[in-house]
A and B are shown apart, each in its own frame.
Chain A
């Protein structure tokens, strides 16, 4: 049972335009959500996160939106740059659950075309 789903395995966007990456979750106990960026043969890099008490968090070109009723979150990158080309993973966790395990989606490969 996949509790965190990224239904788009890949996405291509023109440089300068907006990239929107989507993520859905099924476990209503999740209350904290994170996005990671991963280049080939490297470890994932933490990008941005959001608590379930918020519906938006912004950091520079990156904004994460959370819709709790729909169990959906999205990452917006504006403007997209060629260096943003990578695999993006959505992750979720339940705060206070002891180990703070992260449950990851399968990732979306973003290609930003110059």
Chain B
């Protein structure tokens, strides 16, 4: 069966510090991978998606970036965090074979102070 991992679970960072959140998927190959953010009181906003290694598409202009160095690894980064980057970050995967359902990881709660 497939599993998705995210770490860290929680993170408190000062404004201006860098960020690296990691997501890995097990039990499948060539998944589509997604980064979402849920800000307080809001829905899920798609930030990035990837259909393969090294292929990243950005949905929202921001100071975040994403990378996919391996088939089942997806990384969300920032060089300098802003207060507005606080939120709950979710990684999701989807089978690259016609299924529409996406399956989410446990999330990372990021607080920027």
Contact = CB atoms under 8 A, between A and B. Distances in A.
Interface stretch (B12-20, B41-49, B61-69, B76-84): B41-49
Contact of A49 (B46, B98, B100): B100
B101 A34 contact: yes
Interface residues of A, number: 24
A95 B51 contact: no
Nearest to B91: A43
Contact of A107 (B43, B94, B103, B107): B43
Interface stretch (A53-61, A62-70, A73-81, A97-105): A97-105
Nearest to A90: B43
B64 to A, nearest CB: 17
Nearest to B96: A100
A89 interface: yes
Given A99-B32, A101-B46, A43 B57 contact: no
B100 A44 contact: no
Interface residues of B, number: 26
A8 B90 CA distance: 24
Contacts of B98: 95
A42 B32 CA distance: 21
Contacts of B92: 43
Contact of B100 (A42, A100, A107): A100
A65 to B, nearest CB: 18
B109 interface: yes
B102 interface: yes
A26 interface: no
Given A34-B100, A106-B43, A99 B57 contact: yes
Given A44-B44, A49-B100, A103-B46, 7 more contacts: A36-B104, A43-B90, A43-B105, A93-B100, A95-B98, A101-B34, A102-B100
16 contacts: A36-B104, A41-B109, A43-B90, A43-B105, A44-B90, A44-B104, A46-B103, A93-B100, A99-B32, A100-B94, A101-B46, A103-B46, A104-B43, A104-B44, A106-B42, A106-B43
